[in-house]
Amino acid sequence: MVRIDPRTFEALALPDVDLLMPSVPAARNSTRFWDLCNKADAVGVRAKPADSPSNVSRPKSGLMSVYIDFERLLNCPQFTEFVTERIEKARDEAKAESKTGLPTFRYDNCKIVLISAYEAEKPGFAERFGELRPILGLEDAQLVPVTFDESPLPIDITGHDDVLVFSLGSVTSWNMRQLLTRVQEAWRPLAGKRMHGLVVHARPQTLREWENLFNSFERRLHALWRTFLPWRDPLDEEAKALKELPTEGLTEAAAAYLHLRKNLLNPRLQAWAPRVEEHDAACVSPLCANTDERPSQQPEATIPAGLCEDLNPRSVLWGLPPYGGSRQLRRQSLYGYEARALTAYAAIGAAIHERRQLDSDYDPRRRVFDMPSITRSYYDAIIIAGILRWLEPQEAWWGHSEGEATNAVNELLTRTSDQAELRVLVPELLYAASQGKMPRAAAELLQAEAEALAANWDPDHRGPTELGLALLANAWVDTASGN
């Protein structure tokens, strides 16, 4: 890839690469948030946005790539503990750095707190906010829920110099902007007023979006946790790839797994909470307890006997239980303590997308993620698989030559001796290779190794790997035919 000068049509720079890694600071700053999400089982995928007023600012169609269920978070016993810990850490950082500009999350001068009525009505909100009042210096503040209609604010704020706008979550920032505008209108033309904003978890798509909102609050806006997540949905890309895969010639195990993945990626229930509640109520297999993944029995497909009827909606990666793969990350990691695959998937996506925010238009190099370094830095199959899921094909760099790429893949497979890790890693590598995220020579090595490994696995565990092999073979057919 070479940048071209549109005036002379000459190359601006040699096609060198700038090697990137997922953002370690971003992951470290959000680890406890993902720990909380993991405890509350609060992460969803392929989900319809919550039916809130902010839907007017979202695309009219499409599902969220990552959904955070704040009702589950609010009703998690550790919610107040984790939020308090985050606030105290921020205060310690501000004291250590002696910088008054760092947020300390105390709002003693704010006697009015405005919040969207939609959030204020969430089950558990009143209890959790009551517990946070003394921590935030809001013991005497009045909480005022606001509806976004034509009516004025339900309280006269002209006599107050400081007002806090509070929100549990912010994706498009629509709620925050609406509350900001209502306060500005109520204060006009009075001067000398200070508006403050506090978000528990902000997840804008880009740094520019957050900076625009930050400046609107005159730099008095802060988030306890901030992550960046793109609108792009890797699972939507999988759905399209599986839809285009010919079914002729598939093994019985691959056909069964293909059927299950299609059902999972095109959910009958688009709202996340009803989908997982329906699954959990119907599930009787211990393999499927809570967030452990499982396949299904459908008339169109043959699957291992004794397993539940549908893949668990949380089965974000291939090969997860009951297909013999790992259930969760190994103990402590940047992406959460023993985080299950779905939580780790969201945390990894945020770390990768935050690294993208540091992109510079002044750097002509092609910015890519350094897969050889990534595979040597992370020893968990779920982490490596999650990184590959979130990367686009042009971002996955395996070395300057096919030999370097082949060595990196061979080293990764050789180092991974745990069979549960391999049952996730191998099919996910095959799927990534079929999407153009791996050079041909490395993919050929992977293909041979995958065939040898799958031949020694229990037949009930072969479906994901055999489907990955079929996708890779079909991708090569398409390439040869010029499609």
pLDDT tens column, 443-478: 999 999 999 999 999 999 999 999 999 999 999 986
Residue 293: the pLDDT is 38
Among 232, 206, 241, residue whose Cα is nearest residue 391:
232
Query: What is the rounded average pLDDT of the residues 172-195?
Result: 89
Question: Residue range 189-212: average pLDDT?
Answer: 92
**The pLDDT of residue 6:** 79
Q: What is the pTM of this model?
A: 0.91
Among residues 273, 349, 351, the alpha carbon closest in space to that of 68 is found at: 273
Look at residue 482 and tell me whether its pLDDT is greater than 80.
Answer: no
Answer whether residue 304 shows pLDDT above 50.
no
pLDDT at 61: 66
Omega before residue 322 within 30° of 0, cis: yes
CA distances from 449 to 230, 254, 402, 436, 453 (A): 33, 17, 17, 18, 6
Convert the pLDDT of each residue in 76-113 to its tens digit. Answer: 999 999 999 999 998 988 888 776 667 889 999 999 99
Cis omega (within 30 of 0) for bond into 145: no
Q: Region 400-424: what's the mean pLDDT?
A: 96
The model's pLDDT over 245-265, given as tens digits with 9 standing for 90+, comes to 999 999 999 999 999 999 999
- Judge whether residue 144 has pLDDT over 70: yes
Is the model more confident about 148 or about 462? 462
Calculate the alpha carbon distances from 337 to 38, 143, 381 in Å.
9, 34, 15
**What pLDDT score was predicted for residue 287?**
54
pLDDT of 297 higher than 60: no
What is the distance between the alpha carbons of residues 219 and 424, in angstroms, rounded to a whole number?
A: 44
pLDDT at 16: 81
Cβ atoms within 10 Å, residue 230? 17
**pLDDT of 303 higher than 60:** no
Task: Label each residue of the chain as H, E or C.
Answer: CCCECCCCCCECCCCCEEEECCCHHHHHHHHHHHHHHHHHCCEECCECCCCCHHHHHCCCCCCECCEECHHHHHCCCCHHHHHHHHHHHHHHHHHHHCCCCCCCCCCCCCCEEEEEHHHHCCCCHHHHHHHHHHHHCCCCCEEEEECCCCCCCCCCCCCCCEEEEEEEEECCCHHHHHHHHHHHHHHCCCCCCEEEEEEEEECCCCHHHHHHHHHHCCCCEEEEEECCCCCCCHHHHHHHHHHCCCCCCCCHHHHHHHHHHHHHHCCCCCCHHHHHHHHHHHCCCHHHCCCCCCCCCECCECCCCCCCCCCCCCCCCCCCCCCCCCCECCCCCCCCCCCEHHHHHHHHHHHHHHHHCCCCCCCCCEEEEEHHHHHHHCCCHHHHHHHHHHCCHHHEECCCCHHHHHHHHHHHHHHCCCHHHHHHHHHHHHHHHHCCCCCHHHHHHHHHHHHHHHHCCCHHHCHHHHHHHHHHHHHHHHHHHCC
**What spatial distance separates the first Cα and last Cα of the chain, rounded to whole Å?**
21
**Amino acid identity of 210?**
W
Give me the pLDDT at residue 364, please. Answer: 67
Report pLDDT for 332. 82
Dihedral sign for Cα atoms in the order 81, 85, 88, 94: negative
Q: What's the confidence (pLDDT) of residue 399?
A: 95
**The pair of three-digit structure tokens given for residue 146, joined into one six-digit string:** 């606001």
Q: Is the pLDDT of residue 296 over 70?
A: no
- 394 pLDDT more than 80: yes
**What is the per-residue pLDDT for 295?**
36
- Token output for 48: 């319809």
Name, of 141-155, 191-205, 287-301, the range with top average pLDDT. Answer: 191-205
Identify the band that residue 178 occupies on the pLDDT scale cut at 50, 70 and 90: very high
Which single residue is written with the structure tokens 């704010």? 110
Q: What is the share, in percent, of the chain residues with pLDDT greater than 90?
A: 73
In the chain, the percentage of residues whose pLDDT exceeds 70 is: 89
Would you say residue 214 has pLDDT above 60? yes
**Can you give the pLDDT at residue 299?**
32
Mean pLDDT over 114-127 rounds to 96
Q: List Cβ neighbours of 164 (8 Å cut-off, separation of 6 or more).
A: 107, 110, 112, 113, 114, 138, 141, 196, 197, 198
The mean per-residue pLDDT over the stretch 126-136 comes to 97
> For position 51, what pLDDT does the model report?
80
